[in-house]
Amino acid sequence: MGRINLDQDIKTLSDFRSNVSQFIDQVHNTKRPIVITQHGKSAAVLLNVAAYEKMLDTLEMIQDIETASGQIAEGRGISHKEAQARLRRRYQK
């Protein structure tokens, strides 16, 4: 996902309503999100589906890392050798 271009990627809600197809094409072609404003304030973001899915994948990975870090800090981690042994046992069946 590209960074927002302030000159091109901030649109009013009324402009968005009038040009929905054009803005969907813009997001698809530029790979940049569009910020939609309402009453002069940001209200929503329109972004490419692939960028949204990538963002969700990244968020899930960060959450997994945070969970693992917490488990290690609590002493619930296992060694690399033990992890390998568990995986071998699991997938040799």
35 and 66: one domain?
Answer: no
Residue 56 confidence (pLDDT) above 70 = yes
85 and 55: one domain?
Answer: yes
62 and 84: one domain?
Answer: yes
How many CB atoms lie under 10 A from the CB of residue 2? Answer: 11
CB 16 within 8 A of CB 36: yes
**Each residue of 11-55: pLDDT tens digit?**
999 999 999 999 999 999 999 999 999 999 999 999 999 999 999
- What is the rounded (10 degree) CA torsion for 84, 88, 58, 52? 170
Tell me the chain's radius of gyration from C-alpha atoms.
Answer: 22
CATH number at residue 41: 3.40.1620.10
70 and 39: one domain?
Answer: no
Residue 66 domain boundaries: 50-91
**Each residue of 72-85: pLDDT tens digit?**
999 998 889 999 99
**pLDDT value at residue 44:** 96
Number of domains in the chain: 2
33 and 66: one domain?
Answer: no
43 and 57: one domain?
Answer: no
Look-up: residue for tokens 């009453």? 39
70 and 57: one domain?
Answer: yes
